[in-house]
Structure 1
Amino acid sequence: MSHLTDQQLAALKNALEERRQELEQHFKDNDEENSLLGESLRVSTGELSTVDNHPADAGTETFERSRDLGINNALRDELEDIEAALQRMEEGTYGICVISKEEIPYERLEAIPYTPYAVEHVPGRESADERPVEEQVMTPPPSGAGQTRQEHSGRFDDADAWDSVEDYGSASSPVPLPGHDSDDQDS
């Protein structure tokens, strides 16, 4: 017995089928034969030689091909997930987390209709909550680190740059001539 109503299941199935059609149309319009992503750089660009081009032109073309292949791989994975979700609908296991066997809330299925996981069991989610491994081997800074340490270190610090330069005046203040005191400037 599913926790989803017939209307909810119908709406989700409709959303899955619409997205499947969009993705199938994308692959029909942009398959490897038409986009020439599987061909050499020379064939895909239509150039007789890549020698006469600036190296950045080849770099741009390589980047664009790489990006397109990455997008196609992500869309192909999404299409496979949609097919699996439709299969789970046929089997009557749709909306049940494949790990915990708990019901997936309708709101989550509305957002990601092909998901087989409850939020708590999404693979890779646990690593997002953990702190970086580097923190385990880092030592805390010495006591007094920060402003107090910088003031007493005896070294020039970029944070003090304006204070040092300001002693020489600014564009709007009079600047004493070399060898003259600032009191002597009016003369």
Structure 2
Amino acid sequence: MSHLNSAQLKELEHTLHEEKKDLERHFSVEEEDQGDLSESLTDSTGELSSYDNHPADMGTETFERGRDLAVDEKLSSELEQVNAALSKIDKGEYGVCEVCGKDIPFERLQALPYTPYCIDDTPEKNISDDRPVEEQVMTPPPSGAGEGRQEREGRFDDADAWESVEEYGTSNSPAMAAKRDVKDYNEGM
């Protein structure tokens, strides 16, 4: 911790305490507003039954809950990192990379005060590490799927479909025709 002077350390510690306060406020406000995210979806929505709801309503509720859980998981992890950084300050170990043992530059700590790594030793986040379990049993699409889309463009589109159907007339009766005194269904068009 010798590379940080007392003013720098005080600034970083203040930033960490403010961030911790914000994160804890998020969790306390969420508990008051939404209750427990571990309760059932039916209980959390206040519905007696989900049978009378449109499937899209339940889909929206499910999406919102999944998003809330993902945000909570990320913020919870961030809170753990902030607490670990504050603990390192108390022990006099703050600002040192956990991998190589070198000092973490003050500018990096200003940007990310709870980081335990220098830039060179920051672990790579591999997106494929957190893939959904369903992908393990999914089969890839057949080769060439979707390749011919552009080749068939313009051959038969929605406008062509309307023109094809239009030749059969409309469902309007002669009484509904725009022209007066129409006797035949096809005359009113």
TM-score (norm 2): 0.64
Deviations 1:47-105 (A, max 9, x none): 11111111011011001001101101111100000000001111111110000001101
- SS where residue 75 of structure 2 aligns? helix
- Flag the structure with higher helix content: 1
Show structure 1 runs of 4+ deviating over 3 A.
156-159
Query: Counterparts of 2:149 and 2:77 in 1: how far apart (Å)?
Result: 52
Query: Counterparts of 2:51 and 2:150 in 1: how far apart (Å)?
Result: 47
The CA deviation at 1:35 is 2.5
Query: Counterparts of 1:157 and 1:50 in 2: how far apart (Å)?
Result: 40
Contact 1:36 1:43 in 2 (8 A): no
Contact 1:100 1:121 in 2 (8 A): yes
Query: Counterparts of 1:6 and 1:100 in 2: how far apart (Å)?
Result: 24
- The change in CA–CA distance for 1:158 and 1:70 in structure 2 (over 3 A counts) is closer
The CA deviation at 1:42 is 1.0
Matched, 1:63 2:63: yes
Contact 2:34 2:44 in 1 (8 A): no
Question: In the TM superposition, what are the counterparts of 1:29-178 in structure 2 within 5 Å?
Answer: 29-31=29-31, 34-124=34-124, 158=150
Contact 1:95 1:109 in 2 (8 A): yes
Query: Counterparts of 1:93 and 1:82 in 2: how far apart (Å)?
Result: 14
Aligned residue identity for 1:11: E
**Structure 2 match to 1:168:** none
The CA deviation at 1:124 is 1.6
Contact 2:96 2:103 in 1 (8 A): yes
The CA deviation at 1:31 is 2.8
Contact 2:96 2:102 in 1 (8 A): yes
Query: Counterparts of 2:149 and 2:79 in 1: how far apart (Å)?
Result: 56
Structure 1 gaps of 5+ residues are: 129-155, 163-187
TM-score (norm 1): 0.65
**Structure 2 match to 1:18:** 18
Aligned residue identity for 2:62: T
Contact 1:32 1:38 in 2 (8 A): no
Query: Counterparts of 2:66 and 2:49 in 1: how far apart (Å)?
Result: 20
Query: Counterparts of 2:96 and 2:58 in 1: how far apart (Å)?
Result: 48
What's the C-alpha RMSD, in Å, of the aligned pairs? 2.5
- The change in CA–CA distance for 1:100 and 1:53 in structure 2 (over 3 A counts) is same
Q: What's the % identity of the aligned pairs?
A: 47
Query: Counterparts of 1:88 and 1:2 in 2: how far apart (Å)?
Result: 14
- SS where residue 96 of structure 2 aligns? coil
Aligned residue identity for 1:95: G
